[in-house]
Amino acid sequence: MSHYYAAVRKELKTSRGKEVVTTGDGVLATFKAPAAGVSCAAAIQRAVRTLGLEIRVGLHAGEYNVSGGERVGLAFHIGTRVAAKARAGEVLVSSAVKDLLVSQSGVRLRDHGLHQLKGVPERWRLYRVEH
């Protein structure tokens, strides 16, 4: 597992992502721009494949607060739920991420349908990142 976290942290540093917390076998991170998050997710997937691992990734864009030094908010919960809908080797993004990606980002998305995210109101349209 230490090689996994080392690979993840290396790619986060390269993409200027900020690790928020580890979640057992996952990592929750923030990025200044959605395209940076998508790019980092692809880089992490490539890096951990060399370790024989296939990971699933979920990305969401939203606001959060800092409380007692911790980042908290519904955006993190939604991001975790989006990741739960992904299959191994898949990167899924919420409609919020899609709406913020600029056409020049080069990120190609495919509609993945409407999904109910556990503990989150309403259904959410998700998109699969095409490599």
Q: What is the CATH number of the domain that holds 14?
A: 3.30.70.1230
Number of domains in the chain: 1
pTM of the predicted protein model: 0.90
Q: What is the largest CA-CA distance in the chain?
A: 39
Residue 81's domain spans which residues? 2-130
Angle between helices 34-49 and 2-14 (to 10 degrees): 150
* Confidence (pLDDT) at 65: 81
Tell me the three state secondary structure of residue 111. strand
Q: What are the average pLDDT values for consecutive 10-residue runs of the chain, which has 131 residues?
A: 88 93 86 94 93 94 82 86 95 96 87 95 94 75
